[in-house]
């Protein structure tokens, strides 16, 4: 059995990628209100700050900051996935293993997590989240994707509305830091 090692920093900021099991499906945008509700329910029980979030048809990326002394992002993800799965219609095909374990076939079992190290790392991941719909070809301009915290970040002055994003010559997304 694999030994998954997670870096847990109480009160830390983390970047996540969470995928649907069937990457051809569009469940996340088709049921974006159910996802929002699931997140809201979990945040009410186990608070965390959403620094940035983008929902694409088959996966999502986000940055969270946990409360001081708290490093349980795995429990939060389990609760979000469960709450979402409870309201999405049962149309997915199930493997024998999932059927035997009474699991849904919506989410990949794991998620990818990265602990944010510093301000430059934070800015690079924030840019990546905002630019992702363009990267995947869903829109031509960052501002055109409706399922992104980019719009809130524009309102609060983090980004200009016409920000184009994209990777710099070094492959990073942290150019707006100005260094």
Which of 73, 122, 128, 147 is flagged as catalytic?
A: 147
- Round to whole Å and give the CA distance between 91 and 105: 9
Mapping DSSP to helix (H, G, I), strand (E, B) and coil, where does residue 69 land?
coil
Between the alpha carbon of residue 119 and those of residues 98, 104, 108, 176, the distances in Å are: 41, 38, 30, 12
Measured at the alpha carbon of residue 106, what is the angle toward residues 104 and 107, in degrees to the nearest 5? 110
Beta strands in the chain (DSSP E): 13-19, 49-55, 59-65, 112-115
- Residue in 130, 113, 123 with CA at minimum distance from that of residue 56: 130
Is 147 designated active site? Answer: yes
Q: Which residues form the catalytic set? A: 147
């Amino acid at each position: 059995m694999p030994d998954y090692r997670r870096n847990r920093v109480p009160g830390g900021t983390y970047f996540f990628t969470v995928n649907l099991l069937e990457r051809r499906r569009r469940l996340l945008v088709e049921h974006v209100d159910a996802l929002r509700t699931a997140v809201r329910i979990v945040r009410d029980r186990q608070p965390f700050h959403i620094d940035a979030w983008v929902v694409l048809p088959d996966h999502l990326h986000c940055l969270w900051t946990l409360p001081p002394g708290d490093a349980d992002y795995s429990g939060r993800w389990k609760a979000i996935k469960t709450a979402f799965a409870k309201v999405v219609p049962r149309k997915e095909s199930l493997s024998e293993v999932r059927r035997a374990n009474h699991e849904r076939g919506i989410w990949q079992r794991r998620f990818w997590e990265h602990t944010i190290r510093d301000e430059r790392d934070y800015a690079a991941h924030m840019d990546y989240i905002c630019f992702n719909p363009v990267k995947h070809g869903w829109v031509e301009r960052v501002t055109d994707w409706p399922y992104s915290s980019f719009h809130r970040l524009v309102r609060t002055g983090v980004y200009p509305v016409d920000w184009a994003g994209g990777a710099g010559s070094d492959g990073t997304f942290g150019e707006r830091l100005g260094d």
